[in-house]
Amino acid sequence: MLQQFFGCANVVIKDEDIKRSNSIKKQCILFSKKCIFAARNNNNTVVPMNPIQMVDLRTQYLHIKEDIDAGIAEVLESTAFVKGGKVSDFQKHLEAFLDVKHVIPVGNGTDALQIALMALGLKPGDEVITPTFTFIATAEVVALLGLTPVVVDVDYETFCINPEAVEKAITPRTKAIVPVHLFGQNVNMEALLKIAKRHRLYVVEDACQSMGAVYTFSDGRKLHSGCMGEIGCTSFFPSKNLGCYGDGGALFTNDDNLAEQIRTIANHGMRIRYYHDVVGVNSRLDSIQAAVLDAKLPHLNDYIAARRRAADHYNKAFAACRQLVTPTTASYTTHSFHQYTVKTNGIDRDKVINRLAEKQIPAMIYYPVPLHLQKAYLDCRYQEGDFPVAEALSATVFSLPMHTELDVEQLNYISDNVLKAVAEQN
Ligand SMILES: Cc1ncc(COP(=O)(O)O)c(C=O)c1O
């Protein structure tokens, strides 16, 4: 019977195995190579624990299957696979959610960043300031457009770009700043926007990881992540806070002229069919992805709340462990916990990650090498030691499973094993 439960015919579960595992709450027994866990529930009966993944998209899908399937079926019936009504529906719904004038859906987050810089009319040689501790896409598009990426250090507490470092890096050639709202919380935008205003610089927010995070300005105004600078960019990569089932992205702006320019660039530089006013690209969100996103959008706030609950659970579990520094949320922002990333202190991070892997717990390092030390971006301007905070973070951080479907059994299992793996090093 339990074998059926686990869907794994060669699994033999003996009661002694269960008794042998330590406490009732912590009973997690590996029954097969396929990583099937069991634990006792409150009635003391054995129940399977879902295998732990960095992101569990399947369980999330099963909860909203009806809506997703209906949305996709509608697109199939309509055969409007590109620029269908689903894309404009989703666009309008996202504009309302974010309270922003224009959402322009595109093919992915990297395209969004590239199109944003093109729309601002930046020219080769113009300098664009980005954090050195981020995903590569942020600097990649700057380099691809012949602009000069200028990287700066980040803040140890928030992992995000340090506004003071930005101001120091500004030169007469600086034209834009691309802050990255890393791991799900907003950059200190009030400080950054003041600097941008003082030096007449554009701000293109990389909000690929921070969909749903809200910033509160000192005058009480609240704005969504990605809706504070001239342009915001996001990604709908499946694992993102609002993810589709393939690639997708969008730009946000409150500026009508920029919105028009962005739409034109994303559509081969074309306003009137087959008349090309500017050099553009082909970047579109397809209708099936829009249907998925439109079905998921009404759940976004709940998804973020689930991520926060998981983060709270980890925070409490690790509070007394001096070898782990848990993530903080800055006073000016909410945190959407795209990632739950801890800093290690005086322990071998790789040993912890390997130990977790033995327990079928995935953990990832975001990001092991800061941009200024990446082979493709190494140039005579930067060397090791230039950005000590980012370098220290790259050497010490790791991220734990973080998604909307983590349950208490899984969270206990993960945090208990993290603490054990850390304790083994004492
Ligand atoms: C910070 C950041 N910027 C840009 C991107 C690029 O998004 P996409 O993968 O949709 O191109 C990502 C996606 O991982 C990201 O995390």
Does any domain span residue 396? no
| HEC letters along 262-281 | HHHHHECCEEECCEECCCCC
Looking at residue 340, its pLDDT comes to 98
Kindly state the percentage of the chain with pLDDT values over 70: 89
In a shared domain, residues 8 and 154 = no
Cis peptide before 314, with omega less than 30 degrees from 0?
Answer: no
Strands 249-253 and 102-106: antiparallel
In a shared domain, residues 83 and 39 = no
- The alpha carbon of residue 144 and the mean position of all alpha carbons in its chain are separated, in whole angstroms, by 23
Domain boundary among 254, 277, 298: 298
Does any domain span residue 357? no
Does any domain span residue 347? no
Tokens linked to 369: 């090498």
In a shared domain, residues 94 and 237 = yes
Nearest ligand 1 atom to alpha carbon 110: 11
In a shared domain, residues 93 and 215 = yes
In a shared domain, residues 28 and 128 = no
Assign residue 208 the CATH number of its domain: 3.40.640.10
In a shared domain, residues 30 and 170 = no
pLDDT(350) > 60: yes
- Tens digit of pLDDT for each residue in 232-285? 999 999 999 999 999 999 999 999 999 999 999 999 999 999 999 999 999 999
Q: Whose CA is nearest to atom 12 of ligand 1?
A: 208
Is the CB of 135 inside a 6 Å radius of any atom of ligand 1?
yes
Tokens linked to 187: 């950059």
Domain boundary among 265, 298, 331: 298
- Quote the ligand 1 centre to 3 CA distance (angstroms): 41
- Tens digit of pLDDT for each residue in 39-71? 556 677 666 788 999 999 999 999 999 999 999
Looking at residue 39, its pLDDT comes to 58
Instruction: Check residues 394 and 4 and name the one with the higher pLDDT.
Output: 394
pTM above 0.85, yes or no: yes
Domain boundary among 298, 332, 358: 298
Is the CB of 106 inside a 6 Å radius of any atom of ligand 1?
no
pLDDT(94) > 50: yes
Looking at residue 236, its pLDDT comes to 98
**Contact by Cβ (8 Å): 329, 335:** yes
Looking at residue 41, its pLDDT comes to 61
The average pLDDT across 11-29 equals 42
Would you tell me how many other CB atoms lie within 10 Å of the CB of residue 324? 21
In a shared domain, residues 265 and 188 = yes
In a shared domain, residues 104 and 196 = yes
Which of 55, 110, 186 for a ligand 1 pocket mutation test, highest count of atoms within 8 Å of Cβ?
110
Nearest ligand 1 atom to alpha carbon 134: 1
Burial per residue of 331-362, b for 16 or more beta-carbon CB atoms within 10 angstroms, e otherwise = ebbbbbbbbbbbbbeebebeebbebbeebbbb
- Quote the ligand 1 centre to 99 CA distance (angstroms): 22
Looking at residue 339, its pLDDT comes to 98
Does any domain span residue 147? yes
- Quote the ligand 1 centre to 113 CA distance (angstroms): 9
Would you tell me how many other CB atoms lie within 10 Å of the CB of residue 97? 17
Q: Whose CA is nearest to atom 7 of ligand 1?
A: 109
Does any domain span residue 340? no
**φ, ψ (nearest 5 deg) of residue 275:** -115, 115
Nearest ligand 1 atom to alpha carbon 112: 11
pLDDT, mean over the chain:
91
The average pLDDT across 207-221 equals 98
Quick one: angle between helices 349-358 and 408-423, nearest 10? 130
Looking at residue 48, its pLDDT comes to 73
In a shared domain, residues 3 and 126 = no
Rounded distance between C-alpha atoms, residue 165 and residue 131, angstroms: 9
**Nearest C-alpha neighbor of 297 from the set 109, 95, 48:** 95
**Domain range holding 34?**
1-49
In a shared domain, residues 13 and 81 = no
- Quote the ligand 1 centre to 368 CA distance (angstroms): 16
- Quote the ligand 1 centre to 241 CA distance (angstroms): 12
DSSP character for 218?
Answer: T
- Tens digit of pLDDT for each residue in 155-187? 999 999 999 999 999 999 999 999 999 999 999
In a shared domain, residues 6 and 73 = no
**φ, ψ (nearest 5 deg) of residue 114:** -65, -45
Looking at residue 46, its pLDDT comes to 66
- Quote the ligand 1 centre to 371 CA distance (angstroms): 14
Looking at residue 379, its pLDDT comes to 78
Tally the domains of the chain: 2
Is the CB of 367 inside a 6 Å radius of any atom of ligand 1?
no
- Quote the ligand 1 centre to 208 CA distance (angstroms): 5
In a shared domain, residues 206 and 290 = yes
**Nearest C-alpha neighbor of 82 from the set 60, 106, 64, 99:** 106
